[in-house]
Amino acid sequence: MHIAYRPWKESDLVSIQNLLLETWLDAYASFIPEKDLIGYHEATYTVEAMTAMFKDPNINGFVAEADRSLVGYIRTRIAQDEKRFYVPSLYVLPHHQGKGVGRSLMAMAVDEAVVHGFDRIWIGIMEKNKDGLDWYRKFGYKAVEEAPFTMGNTTVNHYIGYVLVKSFSPRTERA
């Protein structure tokens, strides 16, 4: 199956909403109740909120597409006040994980970070998301802060840290 990588389009936003919910239910339902996940998703990722993110000049996104359906998504954000380059979202549908989709999306974020003069990418990840933590640790993820993250009535510990851009090789295939 061919997977194409490209910058997001405004017409992708509803598909991204759906991808987020599906991946959240897969990754987080073991430690965050489904009601809290769905409620947070519905409150935070409205079409209006997604459109505002899309139009924000400090936010960018990329998608992975197979058979005209989105299978992965990454969002980047430049925090000017902190002088940090963030990847606040990186999600790959469960049946496409382990195929290099996340790594290719991350390589696109790395390209963007380098263009903007950053040598590291800041990432927040829930402590109980063991698969995600293990994946980032393969690339040298170093947690340097902790903060609570709340979805609905559930609060979990959230690590904030970074990976160096040199940890990712730029092997993306773009459409």
pLDDT digits (tens, 9 = 90+) for 34-71: 999 999 999 999 999 999 999 999 999 999 999 999 99
Closest CA to 50 of 77, 16, 24: 16
Instruction: Answer yes or no: is 158 within a domain.
Output: yes
Tell me the whole-structure pTM to 2 decimals: 0.91
**What distance, in Å, lies between the first and last C-alpha atoms of the chain?**
14
Strands 154-164 and 142-151: antiparallel
Instruction: Answer yes or no: is 173 within a domain.
Output: no
How many structural domains does the chain have? 1
Instruction: Answer yes or no: is 172 within a domain.
Output: no
Instruction: Answer yes or no: is 22 within a domain.
Output: yes
Contact 58, 79 (CB under 8 A): yes
The tokens describing 102, both together, are 């996340």
- Mean pLDDT over 114-130 rounds to 96
Instruction: Answer yes or no: is 175 within a domain.
Output: no
Is the model more confident about 139 or about 71? 71
Q: What is the CATH number of the domain that holds 121?
A: 3.40.630.30
Enclosing domain of residue 39: 4-167
The answer to whether residue 106 scores a pLDDT higher than 90 is yes
Strands (DSSP E) found in 93-153? 120-126, 142-151
